[in-house]
Amino acid sequence: MRRGGWWFWLLALLGFARRERRDEEPRERIVGPGLPAPRAELATIVLLALTAACAIAFIVFYGVGASTQVLGASLAGAFAFLAAALILVGKRVVVTEELAEEYPGEHPEDETAVAQILEESGSRMTRKRLLGTAAGVAAGSIGVALAAPAVSLGPLFDSGPLYETPWRRGRRLVDEHGKSILASDIESGAFYTAYPQGASRKDLGAPLVVIRLDPATLELPSGREGWAPEGILAFSKICTHAGCAIALYRHPLFDPSEPRPALVCPCHYSTFDPARGAEVIFGPAGRPLPQLPLMIGTDGALRAAGNYSGAVGPAWSKVRSHPPRSV
Amino acid sequence: MRDDDALREPLRFIDDRTGGATFARKALRYVFPDHWSFLLGEVVLYAFVVLVATGIYLALFFEPSLSDTIYTGPYAPLQGAQMSDAYRSAVDLSFSVKAGLLMRQTHHWAADVFVAAMVLHLLRVVFTGAFRRPRELTYVIGVLMLFIALVEGYLGYSLVDDLLSGMGLAIGYSVLLSVPVIGGNLGELLWGAPFPGDPAFESRMYIAHVLLIPGLLAVLIGGHLALIASRHHTQFRGRLGQSNGRLVGVPAFPGQAPRSLGLLAAVAAVLLALGGLVQINPIWLWGPYETGLGTNGAQPDWYLGWLIGALRLMPGFDVTAGSYTVIPNPFWGGILFPTVVVAVLLAFPWLERRWTGDRGRHNLLDRPRDAPGRTGFGVAFLLWVFLIFVAGSADRATVFFGLDYETQIKVYRVLVWVLPVIAFFVVRRFCRALQRAEAVERVQHAAEAEAAAEVERVP
Show the CA angle centred on residue B20, arms to residues B14 and B26, nearest 5°. Answer: 135
Distance from CA of A86 to the nearest CA of B (A): 5
Tell which B residues from 29 to 88 touch A, by Cβ distance under 8 Å. 29, 31
Which band of pLDDT confidence, cut at 50, 70 and 90, is reported for residue B422?
Answer: very high
Distance from CA of A18 to the nearest CA of B (A): 7
Q: Do B308 and A268 touch (CB under 8 A)?
A: yes
Give one DSSP letter per residue of B285-296, joined into a string: HH-B--TT---T
Chain B residue numbers with beta carbons less than 8 Å from the beta carbon of A98 are: 240, 248-250
The pLDDT of residue A25 is 66
- pLDDT in 10s for each residue of chain A, 327 residues: 445 455 555 555 545 545 445 455 678 889 988 899 999 999 999 999 999 999 999 999 999 999 999 999 999 999 999 999 999 999 999 998 889 999 998 899 999 999 999 999 999 999 999 999 999 999 999 999 999 999 999 998 888 999 999 999 999 999 999 999 999 999 998 999 999 999 999 999 999 999 999 999 999 999 999 999 999 999 999 999 999 999 999 887 766 666 789 999 999 999 999 999 999 999 999 999 999 999 999 999 999 999 999 999 999 999 999 999 998
- DSSP assignment, residue B235? B
Number of Cβ within 10 Å of residue A246's Cβ equals 28
Helix (H) or strand (E) holding B126: helix B100-127
Tell which B residues from 279 to 338 touch A, by Cβ distance under 8 Å. 290-298, 308, 311-318, 320, 323-326, 328-330, 333-334
The pLDDT of residue A1 is 40
Chain A residue numbers with beta carbons less than 8 Å from the beta carbon of B174 are: 241-243, 313-315
Tell which B residues from 190 to 219 touch A, by Cβ distance under 8 Å. 190-196, 198, 204
Which of A323, A213, A294 has the alpha carbon at shortest distance from A260? A213
Distance from CA of B238 to the nearest CA of A (A): 13
Which band of pLDDT confidence, cut at 50, 70 and 90, is reported for residue B63?
Answer: very high
State the ipTM, two decimals.
0.93
List the single best residue of B29, B177, B267 to mutate versus A (max A Cβ within 10 A): B177
Distance from CA of A154 to the nearest CA of B (A): 4
Q: What is the rounded CA–CA span in Å between residue B138 and residue B229?
A: 10
Chain B residue numbers with beta carbons less than 8 Å from the beta carbon of A84 are: 262
The pLDDT of residue A48 is 98
pLDDT of B206 strictly over 50: yes
List the single best residue of B1, B233, B256, B317 to mutate versus A (max A Cβ within 10 A): B1
The pLDDT of residue B459 is 60
Those residues with Cβ within 8 angstroms of residue B200's Cβ, 6 or more apart along the chain or in another chain:
B192
pLDDT of B451 strictly over 50: yes
- Residue A224 near residue A196, CB atoms below 8 Å: no
Nearest CB partner across the interface for B192, out of A65, A154, A241: A154
- Mean pLDDT check: name the lowest of B187-196, B381-390, B395-404: B395-404
How confident is the model over B290-336, as pLDDT tens digits?
999 988 777 889 999 999 999 999 999 999 999 999 999 999 999 99
Q: What is the rounded CA–CA span in Å between residue A239 and residue A246?
A: 6
Nearest CB partner across the interface for A90, out of B184, B259, B317: B259
pLDDT of B452 strictly over 60: yes
The model scores a pTM over 0.90: yes
- DSSP assignment, residue B96? T
What residues form DSSP beta bridges with A174?
A180, A195
Which band of pLDDT confidence, cut at 50, 70 and 90, is reported for residue B355?
Answer: very high
The pLDDT of residue A144 is 98
Which band of pLDDT confidence, cut at 50, 70 and 90, is reported for residue B1?
Answer: very low
Mean pLDDT of chain B: 94
Quickly list H helices, B160-199. Answer: 163-177, 183-191
Give one DSSP letter per residue of A179-193, joined into a string: PBPBGGG--TT--EE
- Residue B217 near residue B201, CB atoms below 8 Å: no
- CA B171 from centre of chain: 21
Whole-number percent of chain B with pLDDT over 70: 98
Comparing alpha-carbon positions, the chain A residue that sits nearest to B165 is A244
B129 φψ region: left (φ > 0), alpha (ψ -120 to 50), beta (else)? left
Which band of pLDDT confidence, cut at 50, 70 and 90, is reported for residue B145?
Answer: very high
Residue A180 has φ and ψ, to the nearest 5°, of -60, 140
Q: What is the rounded CA–CA span in Å between residue B332 and residue B327?
A: 8
The pLDDT of residue B296 is 78
Q: How many CA atoms lie within 13 A of A208 on its CB side?
A: 29
- DSSP assignment, residue B279? -
Q: What is the rounded CA–CA span in Å between residue A221 and residue A180?
A: 28
Nearest CB partner across the interface for B324, out of A85, A157, A321: A321
The pLDDT of residue A286 is 95
Cis peptide before B372 (omega within 30 of 0): no
Q: Do A315 and B245 touch (CB under 8 A)?
A: no
- Measuring CA to CA, how many Å separate B108 from each of A309, B48, B274? 42, 12, 10
Average pLDDT (B142-158) is 97
Whether A315 has its CB under 8 Å from any CB of chain B: the answer is yes
The pLDDT of residue A5 is 55
- Residue A303 near residue A171, CB atoms below 8 Å: yes
Which of A283, A296, A147, A276 has the alpha carbon at shortest distance from A218? A276
